[in-house]
Amino acid sequence: MSKARKGKAENVYTHVIVTGREISGRKLIKSNSIFANCDVPVYDLKFQKGNENTGISSALGRIQPDVLIYINEPKNEVVYDVDAALTAASQTNRNITKIAIPIERTKNMKWLTDLSIEVLKIIAQDRPLSLSHPTQSLNSSIYFSDDEINRKYCNANECKFLFPYNVVEQETQSNRHFISFIQLAQQLGRTVVLTNVGGSGISSLKNFSFDFYYDVDELSRKFPKVKFISQHKFQKWAEERYNKPDIIHVLLENSKANPNYTIRYDSPYFDKLLSEYRMDKYDLRLNNSATFKRINIGITAHNSKRGSENLELKKFLSVELESNAEVMLITHDVIRGSIFERLSPMPYARHITNAASKLAKKLKPYIAIHWRMEQGKTNLMPKCAKSLVTYIRNLSLTTGIENIYLATDYPLVNNGNNKTQSRTFSSIRENHHTAMKTLQSSFNVNTWVSTRALDYLQLYPIEGEHLKEELNGGGIQGIFDKLMLINADYFIAGPKGCCRFISTYTYTVMETRQELFEKNGTVKNIINRWEL
């Protein structure tokens, strides 16, 4: 709806523009004629998909309003293009005072249209800044303050979030990447959204809250200068906002061929954010005002073992990622290792560490085998199993240790579809089954399944189907296995040809065992590999 001048300020024409979608301009025109002394032109644009911006610009060009009052309904794609039309109008030196009304406050249009244009401009331009967030220009205004909502969720009049909505790779690597995002948020002064987890990953699409995998209290102690908010509360914040939050989108990527830090501005890809990542559920301002940056961070990101403080990169990102946008959506492509100095992994949730400690105490002393069959040669699997049996028998005779724990990506749960314990391992053959039968027929092999160590999860307030899906593939059991490997008296892994020989998962176990070995000698080795 717009207000246009004719002569003196008190003589005001009010025009109504309808989109032709969800509301009929024809009905408005008909009902308008019923009322005496009511002369309100109605423009029914009858939008077809894809021509909204053109239609709005054309209508504004025809009416040339001083004030535009419109319904701010984020899920209506027509509204997305109002800003673009106003920007186009401003480039022709037509200044229009913009007043956006949240759809749930539409009734307030009644009194707004009774005010003169001069009063509307004064309210829009000169009100105290504390009433709302700064807008792109002084002749823009949202009439309902978000300060109270921001204080509810951020304890401040302003909220600025960093939301790592999709962390690439499986848990051990994504654990490291998430720490890098926390370090970045600390630099930028942003609150970290604790993204959902599940299926051995961190993503806004997962079914479980962040604290299903990780200890949030310990994480807060690890980063005392950083504020955190759950994905659920972040979503509630966005839903409750009158003025929907604006965004900047950041993609960090490898640049091994070009180690110099470089920036590219991407064309917005809202279709991908909506269809693939379902970002529409967060009520964010996903329109053409958003900035999309693709940043090459250099070859320093490739050292998976050490990382580095990388002051040059920190300075570069601090400048390039400085933004007034309330939400920074951030993701990355495959980056091996930490972006900055590598810190210890995020601490795991107490319910997992308690379950692992309970079983480790029951089995002590025990030998832990890590057999990740992925990348092992299928034709060698039976031979690998026989060699492993020989090795474990000799180790058991030498040490007197009889209890054995097995961590593997082989499908321990009989789900009928040979689904493995790793999302990157999908090709199970008969030789894999033969190898596992050889091992299990030779020893009383303990696993997270045979010991029922994770049965307590059935009591958790989570949907049964989600839990079943989690335990039927790579998921929380990978974390549990990692803790069992770390605390074993002896840690045994496979030789080349029998397994995935090099992995971040194995290296993390070795690194933690090294610390335990040096600190108190509770473990007897760092790692040994059986011979083929």
Q: Which residues pair with 141 in a beta bridge?
A: 99
Q: What is the pLDDT along the chain (532 residues), one digit of tens a residue?
A: 444 444 444 445 666 666 554 444 455 455 545 444 555 565 555 544 444 445 677 777 777 787 777 776 666 666 666 767 776 776 666 677 777 776 666 666 666 666 666 666 655 554 433 333 433 333 444 446 788 999 999 999 999 999 999 998 889 999 999 999 999 999 999 999 999 999 999 999 999 999 999 999 999 999 999 999 999 999 999 999 988 899 999 998 876 665 567 777 777 778 888 888 888 888 888 877 788 998 888 755 445 455 566 788 888 899 999 999 999 999 988 776 778 888 889 999 999 999 999 999 999 999 999 999 988 899 999 999 999 999 999 999 999 999 999 999 898 887 666 666 666 666 788 999 999 999 999 999 999 999 999 999 998 877 788 998 899 877 899 999 999 999 999 999 999 999 988 888 999 999 999 999 998 778 999 999 999 8
| Cβ 121 vs Cβ 68: under 8 Å | no
Q: Give the domain-ending residue among 299, 332, 365.
A: 332
329: nearest Cα among 389, 414, 252: 252
68 and 214 share one domain: no
Classify residue 197 by its DSSP letter.
E
Domain span holding position 130: 2-144
Domain presence at residue 172: yes
Q: Which residues pair with 192 in a beta bridge?
A: 162, 228
Angle between helices 171-188 and 476-486 (to 10 degrees): 100
Domain presence at residue 57: yes
Interatomic CA distance for residues 279 and 290, integer angstroms: 14
458 and 483 share one domain: yes
43: nearest Cα among 10, 14, 67: 14
111 and 201 share one domain: no
Q: What separation in angstroms does the CA of 469 have from each of 19, 206, 207, 262, 457?
A: 44, 11, 10, 41, 13
139: nearest Cα among 124, 119, 129: 124
166 and 54 share one domain: no
Domain presence at residue 337: no
Which helix (H) or strand (E) element contains residue 328? strand 327-332
**Which residue's structure tokens are 């008909």?**
30
Give me the half-sphere count of Cα atoms (radius 13 Å) on the Cβ side of residue 320.
22
Q: How many domains does the chain have?
A: 3
Phi-psi region for residue 283, left (φ > 0), alpha (ψ -120 to 50) or beta? left
Domain presence at residue 249: yes
336: nearest Cα among 211, 507, 484, 197: 507
375 and 501 share one domain: yes
Interatomic CA distance for residues 56 and 388, integer angstroms: 72
Q: Give the domain-ending residue among 276, 306, 332.
A: 332
489: nearest Cα among 530, 449, 521, 464: 521
Tokens of 439: 């091992």
465 and 505 share one domain: yes
Interatomic CA distance for residues 88 and 256, integer angstroms: 40
91 and 134 share one domain: yes
250 and 365 share one domain: no
Interatomic CA distance for residues 227 and 161, integer angstroms: 9
132 and 244 share one domain: no
124 and 257 share one domain: no
Separation of CA 514 from chain center:
32
**Threshold 0.75, pTM exceeds:** no
Q: Give the domain-ending residue among 306, 332, 358.
A: 332
CATH at residue 413? 3.40.50
Interatomic CA distance for residues 210 and 228, integer angstroms: 11
Domain presence at residue 206: yes
Domain presence at residue 342: no
Burial string for 468-494 (b: 16+ CB within 10 Å, else e) reads: ebbbbbbbbbbbbbbbbbbbbbbbbbb
Q: Which residues pair with 72 in a beta bridge?
A: 102
Domain presence at residue 63: yes
| Cβ 99 vs Cβ 143: under 8 Å | yes
Q: What is the pLDDT of residue 131?
A: 35
Domain presence at residue 250: yes
17 and 73 share one domain: yes
22 and 103 share one domain: yes
